[in-house]
Every structure is written in structure tokens, then in C-alpha cells.
A and B are shown apart, each in its own frame.
Chain A
Amino acid sequence: MNCIIIDDEALARSIIRNHCEKSTDVEVVAQFENAISAIKYLNQNEVDLIFLDIHMPDFTGFDFIQTLKSPPKIILTTSDRNFAIEAFEYDCIVDYLVKPVGLPRFLKAIQKAQQFSLTSKEPAAPAAATEAKQEEGKDLYINIDRRLIKIDFDSILIIEAKGDYILIKTEGKNYTVHSTLKKIEEKLPESKFLKIHRSYVINFHKIIDIEDNSVLIAKDVIPISRSNRPILMKRLNLL
């Protein structure tokens, strides 16, 4: 397997690289101290495995994963012994290693990555199936006061997180629903909607203009988080 290492700490990169040299199953083809450089590399090159630090300034490991359309296998590295459960929400994550990483534990993770290749090497099909499923529907039903109200995807402008609720702003009306951004994101077609901030999902086709750190949709100025900005820029049909 060829792999890359992404970690802002030279010590962490050195340890992983040295461990890789002791394994015949994995070869380091590149190392990066930030996620942005790695994204540029991955736009041109394919890799089998990524060693990815979760906590990096500006752009976390999880932000990075979200920019990848078909992520390769990923082994997370972290200094947290009490590791965040969030990691298990991503199918591409094979294992996680707590720093400093010892060789026996490293080799076990490599073994897991190899088994992962044998059993689940075709993530493209299920991913495509999910997208197709999302594209099938043109609307969404929300439950308000025991009534199921139909909302056309095309009429949605913005969805804003508000504590335990979300505010769905459409061209005609606004709806407050007891749900989370994560739940509604799963129901929305990826071709139309994009999360640009931890509190905002927008209908990509409703953007009027974009300034440095905000987008204008209808009369609302929505902030773009630094970590989501690259994803947004990637989606734009720039002249």
C-alpha cells in the first residue's frame, strides 16, 4: 500500500515514517504538514492509505475527510487518549492511533488496513447508490404540530442550526423543526446543498454572491467557516 502522512508536527511524521520503513506492506510516498497541501497532492495522485492527524490548526482531520469525494483508507492519529466517537461515523476510517505511536500498535493498524482492503475495497458503489437515492426525491416532509408538511428542495434557501432545532428558510416561509443539521443533511441531495459553517447548510444554487468570509442568499448574509471554504470554492464554476 502506498500512503501519505498528514500531521503538523514533525515529530509525529517522523515516528510514522520510521515505522512505515519497518513494514514491508506500506510505503510513504509523501508527507504534509497541513491538509491543504495534501488536498492539492490528492487532486493529482492516488494513494491507498492516509495517516491523518485529527487536530491541526485551521483545518482539522475531519474537515479534510469531508473534502474527499472517495476517500482512501484512513488511519487517524491523535494525542487524545479519550478519543472522539466522531471517528466511527466515517466508513473510510480503519483505525486510530494514540500518539506517541509504538511499533506493535502501528503494525496492528497496518494489518487492519490490509484486511479492510480485502473485505471492503469497493466503497464507490454504495456511495453512488446513496447519491442516487438522494437524487430520487425532490422534496422533504417535516413534522410540525402533527402535520407532515412537504417542502420542495428547490424552495429551500438556508438551513440554520438553533440548539436542538433547525430553522428551514424557504422562498415562501420559514419552518422551525426539532432536528439537527446532521440529520437533515443526510436527506438533502449533495448536488444542491452544502454545509458552509457548523451552523449553516445552504442551497448552493441560491447563492447571489460570495465575499471573503460570507455568502449572500436572498437577504441573508451567511458566514463561511475557514474549514468549509475550500469545499465551497471547489464547487464553484469559476471563470
Chain B
Amino acid sequence: MDAPNLLKIKEISGGMTDFEQEMLQIIKEELPEEIEQYHSNLEAKDFLKTAGDVHKLKHKISILNMKHGYETAVTYENELRAGRPTSAQDFEAVLNKMVVFVNQL
């Protein structure tokens, strides 16, 4: 599985460190909230809401430049919308990598 990195964030910020820091700060704040929301809806077996949470997390996965992680999220989101989620563990692994990475920033 691909590891998260800051390449995309640096590309988007165009080298402007203030902008880069602003993005990282928001990710640090939003990511745990989004993951918590995802777990809560998954636990309640509300697959449509969970699919919405996965959809929202896709942006964070993309911005941390996890190409395979993004594909995992797409597959999982589709499974959830169909009411047959089977990739929860794979997706959880993507989330864990993101959390570890973001906590080190």
C-alpha cells in the first residue's frame, strides 16, 4: 500500500508556506472528526451515510497522495452504496496510515 506524503500539498500550495500550513492544520482538525463520524455510521450499519463519509475522506486521501488508498476508497464507497461492504478492513488500513502520518506532522 502507498504511504501518505506531502507532495500534493506542496504542489497545490505552490510553495506558499502559509497556505501549506493552513491546509495541514485543517487536515489535523478535520481528519479525526471525519474518521469518528465514519466509524459511528458504520457501527450503526447506516451504509448510505457511511458511503458519504468515505466519499468525504477521499479528498483527504487524495491530498495525502495515496493513489492506491484512493482506489480502495472508491471501491469501498461503491460497495457501501450497494449495501454490501466487503473492503472495510482495507479502508481501515488506509485510515490508519493517514492518522499515523498526520500525527507525526
Contact = CB atoms under 8 A, between A and B. Distances in A.
Interface of A: 8-12, 14-15, 18, 22, 55, 57, 79-80, 99-103
Interface of B: 8, 11-14, 16, 19, 22-23, 26-27, 29-30, 49, 52, 55-56, 58-60, 62-63
Given A14-B22, A15-B12, A100 B62 contact: yes
A9 B12 contact: no
A79 B56 CA distance: 8
Contacts, number: 50
Q: Which applies to chain B's interface (DSSP): helix, strand, loop or mixed?
A: helix
A99 B62 contact: yes
A15 B52 contact: no
Given A22-B14, A57-B52, 4 more contacts: A11-B27, A14-B22, A100-B8, A100-B12
B52 A11 contact: no
Given A18-B22, A57-B52, A79 B14 contact: no
A79 B29 contact: no
A11 B59 CA distance: 9
5 contacts: A11-B63, A18-B19, A55-B52, A79-B55, A100-B12
A10 B30 contact: yes
Contacts of A22: 14
A15 B23 contact: yes
Contact of A9 (B19, B22, B30, B49): B30
A188 B52 CA distance: 33
Contacts of B52: 55, 57
Contacts of A101: 12
B26 A103 contact: no
B96 to A, nearest CB: 20
A88 B31 CA distance: 32
